[in-house]
Every structure is written in structure tokens, then in C-alpha cells.
Chain A
């Protein structure tokens, strides 16, 4: 059953703590993305990766880090430098980063601060 899996569904972060959100896909897609969604706002791009071992900053990369060591995995770390991390985080993938590619999204991770 092909798709994109995010875990956990809910995550809580303590002050000063780094947390990592998991994103795995078995669609054999080259491109993967991380978006952040706040209530009433659109999705904002954090990072994207066009290919293994390469990634690019999006519009709001400060306080976040990523890695792309395997084609199927693109974990996002929310560092303590991100002062307002509470949001709904969405991971997506596409066959490539071409302009006509549709995105396949995971079911999201809701991150809250304790």
C-alpha cells in the first residue's frame, strides 16, 4: 500500500528541547517537502529536497533542520531556536520538483509546547 507516513500524530515539546518529526514514503519519489500550517493560514514551506543528500531552505527555515540520507526518508528537527513551534506540520512528496507535479501529503503531525 503506497503512501507517505508521518509520525507521531501528536508531539509535545518542552522548553529548550529539540524534537524530530518522522516522514517516510514508499512512492519512490525523488522530491520531498516540509510545510508548516498555522490556524487560518496557508501552508508555509520550511525545507525541500530534490534528491538524496541535497536539500534547500524554504521561506521559514530558521529554527529547523533536515536530512535526506535515504530516498524514502526526510526527517524534520524542530530545534530550541524555533521560539514558536506550535503548528501542524505536513510532509509531502512528488516524483520530481517539476512545475506540473502534484504533491502527495502525509496525515500531519501536531506539535505543541508544554
Chain B
């Protein structure tokens, strides 16, 4: 069965540094991969979508890469701010008509 792996340990970084979060998956590559942000006690909010034929996607301070050979996506936040502190979830569509989500990685940006 398909699985998504995100680092369960929180990532702590200093303000201004670049945060890099990892999403690994098993079996065959999906056509699309999405990243969401979730704050405590709230629903996830969509951030970025990347297609399998796209190597990289950018939006303001956010960058996502998608390596179908490694079966991995990296999510980068440059010039990180304390307001970026949240849990970040990756989600994949394997043609099931509903997204499958990873367990998320909590990011803590220290001022």
C-alpha cells in the first residue's frame, strides 16, 4: 500500500534561516503533490501544488521540489519568521479521488 513519510520530530530553526521539510513516499509516483499548513486546532490550508513533470515550484518565500526518482518532495521556507511556525503536511493523489495526507512535520521558528 502507498505510504507517506514525514519527519515526526519537530524542526527548530532560527528566524531568518531557511527551513527544509521532507516528504517521502512509497510505490509509484502520483501525478500531483500538495503541501498544506495547519495551525493548532484549525483545519489545513493549501499552500502549493506541484505536478510530476515540474521539478520546482515557487510562491513568494516558499519553494517545493518534486523528485520522482527519489520519491521525495522538499518544502523550503526562506527567510523564516516566527509566524511560519506551524505543522506542514504533504498530500498525494494516487488516483483515489481523495488526497492521502502525511502525518506532518511541526516547524518552530525561534525569534
Contact = CB atoms under 8 A, between A and B. Distances in A.
Contact of B97 (A41, A42, A50, A104): A50
B102 A100 contact: no
Interface residues of B, number: 27
A102 interface: yes
B25 to A, nearest CB: 12
Size bin of chain A's contact surface: 20 to 34
Contacts of A74: none
A64 interface: no
Interface of A: 6, 33, 35, 40-43, 45, 48, 50, 56, 58, 88, 90, 92, 97, 99-100, 102-108, 110
6 contacts: A45-B100, A50-B97, A99-B31, A99-B95, A106-B43, A108-B42
